[in-house]
Amino acid sequence: MIKADERREEIANYVIKLGQVRIDDLVEHFGVSRMTIHRHIDQLAQQGVLRKLHGAVTVQPSGIYESTFRYRMTVGRAEKDALARAAMKFIEPGQVVMLDDSTTANAAAPLLLDIKPLTVITNSMSTAELVAHVENVDFICLGGQYHHTYNAYIGIICENSISRLRADVLICSASAISGTTAFIQDQQVVRVKQAMMASCTKRLLLLDHAKFDKVALHVFGDLTAFDAVLVTDGISDIASKQLQQAGVRLHIVRTGHHESIG
């Protein structure tokens, strides 16, 4: 007997794969009643994973809710990989590196293994799985309340753990950028990221250019608070000049190459 949460994940993955699916097709594919399908879709819509349309369902993350971690991993993969490579020039062997729960930071995790020895700290379950059993990597997992949407630990326990630690470098990302302000959808996630900012000596913000000129619900911080803001090269010349004039330490990352220009 398939559990309800397993069925919801199957439905989410199926819709993510196809982009948009009719309700009738879901009923036929999964062999369950329309009522059951509607119940699962309603819950997935509340989580921000899917958008319910008239007679169909589609993948469309809103500005309020994060989509599932698995879905976010598939979005802008080339950009994430380019940003991760560019971030490595800021990392040296022997450092303590903290990573947030973002899929962009997760893309950087495997590359850290080439700069051992390191101490790696994160609240991300996916990053933990990549680094936990690697030789010459001291790993610290930040505990707290597990959140399925982010595949990470968040909440007051996580924040308190961070406050008792100090790291050399933070690798993090944001959901949206407007002007010089970075935004995040979830208030609890914002608090965790801000606690990480306070605990790290050097702060790196990795951004896909597609996140610019957008907003989310909660303010994360100003771009000038970061020691380096790495942005993929789709950002306009006008926008990049405005950011630099505002005091943002901007680095433009070429998505088709292994180097970056600042």
Beta-carbon contacts of 5 under 8 Å, excluding residues fewer than 6 positions away, are none
Global confidence as pTM: 0.75
Per-residue confidence (pLDDT) for residue 61, from 0 to 100:
54
Distance of alpha carbon 66 from alpha carbon 48, whole angstroms: 6
Per-residue confidence (pLDDT) for residue 95, from 0 to 100:
98
The total of other beta-carbon atoms located within 10 Å of residue 35's CB is 9
Q: What is the side-by-side order of every strand in the sheet holding 181-184?
A: 176-178, 181-184, 218-222
Full set of structural domains in the chain with CATH: 4-60 (1.10.10.10), 76-261 (3.40.50.1360)
The total of other beta-carbon atoms located within 10 Å of residue 257's CB is 12
DSSP letters along the chain, please? ---HHHHHHHHHHHHHHHSEEEHHHHHHHHT--HHHHHHHHHHHHHTTS-EEETTEEE----SSS---HHHHHHTTHHHHHHHHHHHGGG--TT-EEEE-S-HHHHHHHHHHTTS-SEEEEESBHHHHHHHTT-TTEEEEE--SEEETTTTEEESHHHHHHHHT--EEEEEE--SEEETTEEEES-HHHHHHHHHHHHHEEEEEEEE-GGGBT---SEEEEEGGGSSEEEEETTS-HHHHHHHHHTT--EEEE-TTSS-EE-
CA distances 242 to 52, 150, 180, 248, 252, Å, are 39, 32, 9, 9, 13
Per-residue confidence (pLDDT) for residue 60, from 0 to 100:
61
Question: pLDDT digits over 119-135, tens only?
Answer: 999 999 999 999 999 99
**Overall size of the chain counted in residues:** 262
The residue ranges of the chain whose pLDDT is under 70 are 1, 47-48, 60-75, 256-262
Per-residue confidence (pLDDT) for residue 70, from 0 to 100:
61
Per-residue confidence (pLDDT) for residue 64, from 0 to 100:
45
Per-residue confidence (pLDDT) for residue 222, from 0 to 100:
97
